[in-house]
Structures are given as structure tokens and as C-alpha cells.
Amino acid sequence: MSFEIPIGPQHPIHVEPLMLRLSVEGELIVDVDVDVSYIHRGIEKALEVRPYIQGLYLVERICGICNAAHSLCYCLNVEQLLGKEAPPRAKYLRIVVEELSRIHSHLLWLGHYFHTLGFETLFMYFWRDRERVMDMLELITGNRVTTAYNTIGGVRRDLTPEVEQKLRRTLDYIEERMRYYEKVIDSEPTILARTQGVGILKPSDAVRLGVVGPHLRASGIKHDVRLDDPYSGHDEIPFNVITWDTCDCYARVKVRIKEVHECVNMIRYALDHMPSGDYRLKIPPFFKAPPGESLSRVEAPRGELVHYSISDGSDRPYRYRVRTPTLANLLSVVEMLKSRDGYEVYIADVPAILGGIDPCICCSARVVVADEARRRRTVMTLDDIIRISRDRGVERR
């Protein structure tokens, strides 16, 4: 006899509306259904009715935590449309901020992850150290969270020597703390009991389900956009792609902790080898992009982020498409949550497994529900929806 438990759309594990319908037998989960369509925000549509420069500020708000990755991806995309490339110094500065926000995202995730495991103390410690990173982001970019650092053709600000000094000190601090945390996590029996052997995702399944980012690397597959498709001078900076082959929640924690070390080293290298010159191309705020299409990929903290745009020669994109890493990773959650022969998942494992993908639901809602005002539901094809939305967009213009 199974019993249905709704995890969401409002639940303490998440501040975001995600619905997991669990069918449980006692504590054992037998079936899962996932629904992310609670906060469709229409950002892709909103991008189509704005000039490129305004779109920059909108994409940043797709996700507060990955804002640097989103704005970088957008800038790369538009620069590609324009056939321009950011100057070398801008590329290095972009890497500094990107990696710094990766550290901040990973620390946030680690803290939140231990909170979901009931380890409140470690949560507080991680978030306290994250504050140091946030302070550095504020010093470099002017903002704590929504950094607005990348702009089309470069970055908005240069790095001053004083800030660089402080940044180096912060990096030393973070490195030392991460060594301590790694020791804590490896020696704490309750953490090991809750993560080892939980939420196993085999490498073959991970590839089949299109998993990306640290989640994929925790399944032992060496995949990183920074390595496969160096987009901002990453081919000049040496770094290791961290993988772990236990394929469980423990692997996800380890990969992220080790990645923070890599980030620290990358920032140090970028600071040491910072090219001189301009940090920004002179591009007028309002411009028309030549017709064409472009695709850009960025390794966001959560995984591979893809932006795709079509230009019809006007001052705004004809179509803009965003594929966020969480959307790619959500399918694997369903796979990991189902008990199979010899693999048991309990209700208590749900936070550990769901948390393991670093979910960010607000950037994942995609479904358009066509519910007519006369309480009649009409089935619409994707083409219909695109046609209607485009017509309305034209009217507004």
C-alpha cells in the first residue's frame, strides 16, 4: 500500500516552488513525479522586446546566485553576434569574477546542503566564510549579489591594486578554511552515514539523462565547458577538472570542495598573469546586431549554461533561449529517488539527493499552461504558443 507525500511546492528544504510527489511505502520511496512549472517568469519573451543592453540586466536576474555566469553567457552571445571579442584584460577580469562567484555559490551550496542534512553548525560556518567572498565581490564589482560586472565588450570596472591585495588575502583565508572543512567532513561519522552510498547515479545513467556540471563530475565523467570549449581565455589558465568516482552524495560534496581549491588557484593565476590594456571595448549602448544566430556556453557554478539567440537585424533579439543547468539535472533526481532492486531510498534521503544537484528552480520553469478564461482548457501546440506570443509582442512594439 503506498502513501503519497507532497514535497513542495512549499517545503522547508526549498525556498523555491518545486513539487515532488513521492509515493512511499513506510519510509521507502517507490515512485516520484516532479513538477517545476510554478514560476514561469517569461524572461525569454521579455528579452525579445528589449534592446540588447537592457537584456543584459534582465538575464542577470534569471538567477541571483549564477548572475555572473548568466551575464557572461549573454555578453559572449551578443559579442559573437556582433563579431567582436573582449580585450584580453577583460577576459581575465571576467574569469576572476566568475570564479569568485563560483566559490560563493559552492560555499552557499555546501552550507545549505549540510543544513538539509540537519547539520546546522556547519551551515553557519560555511555561510560565515561565504560573507568574506561576498565582500570581495562587492569591492570588485560594486554589488554583493547581482554584480552587473560583465558588459557587452568587456567589464564595467578595472581591478585596483588595493583590491587585488585584499582579494589575495581572502583567497588564502578561504583555502585554509576549505582544508579544515574537508577534514571535518571526512571525519564526521554522521555526515558519512548520510551521504555515502546515497543517491547513486551511475556514469552511464548520468550521460543518458544529460546531467551537467559538478553533478556529472561527481559521477566520474570529466566534462567541463571551461576545458572543452574555452570561452574566456580559459585555455591560457591551467586548472584541473575535479572528478570523483563514488557517484553518490558524498562525491558531490567532495567535488565541490575540491573545486573551490581550483577556483582559488585560477584566480591567483589570473591575478599573477593579468594582461595590461583596455578592460572594455567602446560599444555604443544602443546598436543593431547583424542577422544571424549564435550559441554560447558557460560553465556556471551549477553546470553547463547555454544561451542561444536569433537576430533579425534589429536592435533586439528575435528569439532568445536559455537552458539552465538545473533543468538538465532535474531528470536525474527522479532517477535517483526511485527505489530499485538493491537500491533503497528513504524519505530522509530526499533532501540529500535533491540538494545534491544544487537545484535552482526559479530559472527552470518552462511550461506554458494554456488555460482559457472560460474555464475551458485548449491544447495548444508549441508553434501556436510561439505564434501567439510573437503576435502580442509585435502589438506591444
Partner 1 sequence: MIEKILATIFFPGAVFLLAVSLFYEWVDRKLYARFQNRVGPHLAGPFGLLQPVADFIKLLSKEDIVPMAADRLLFTLTPILASALTLFACMFLPIAGPTGIISFKGDLIVVIALLSIYTITVYLAGEGSNNRFASIGAERAALQLIGYEIPLTLSLLSAAIAAGSLSVGGIVEAQAERGLWLIVGPQSIGFAIFVISSQAEMKRIPFDIPEAEQEIVAGWEVEYSGRRLALFRLSKDLELILLSGLGAAIFLGGPIGPVIPGLEPMLYTIYFILKSLIVLAIFTLVRALFARLRIDQMEFFSWKYLMPLAVILIILTEVIV
Binding site for partner 1 (CB under 8 A): 3-6, 11-13, 27, 114-122, 124-125, 128, 188, 190-191, 193-194, 346-351
- For the beta sheet containing 317-323, the strands, ordered from the edge strand earlier in sequence to the opposite edge, are 292-300, 303-311, 317-323
Residue number with CB closer to partner 1 (122 or 134): 122
The least CB distance from residue 226 to partner 1, in Å, is 32
Give dist(CA 171, CA 132) in Å, integer. Answer: 9
The least CB distance from residue 337 to partner 1, in Å, is 13
25 has which bridge partners? 28
Among residues 263, 279, 272, the alpha carbon closest in space to that of 93 is found at 279
The least CB distance from residue 209 to partner 1, in Å, is 25
Give dist(CA 41, CA 338) in Å, integer. Answer: 30
How does DSSP assign 184-251, residue by residue?
HHHH-HHHHHHHTTSS---HHHHHHTT--HHHHHTTT----HHHHS--SSTTTS--PPP--SS-SHHH
Compute how many other C-beta atoms are within 10 angstroms of the C-beta atom of residue 168: 15
Residue number with CB closer to partner 1 (160 or 190): 190
The least CB distance from residue 115 to partner 1, in Å, is 7
Take residue 276 and report the three cell numbers written for it: 595590461
Residue number with CB closer to partner 1 (62 or 350): 350
Residue number with CB closer to partner 1 (193 or 207): 193
The least CB distance from residue 255 to partner 1, in Å, is 19
The least CB distance from residue 123 to partner 1, in Å, is 8
Residue number with CB closer to partner 1 (11 or 45): 11
For residue 243, give Cα distances in angstroms to 187, 216, 247, 254. 21, 8, 10, 9
Residue number with CB closer to partner 1 (76 or 191): 191
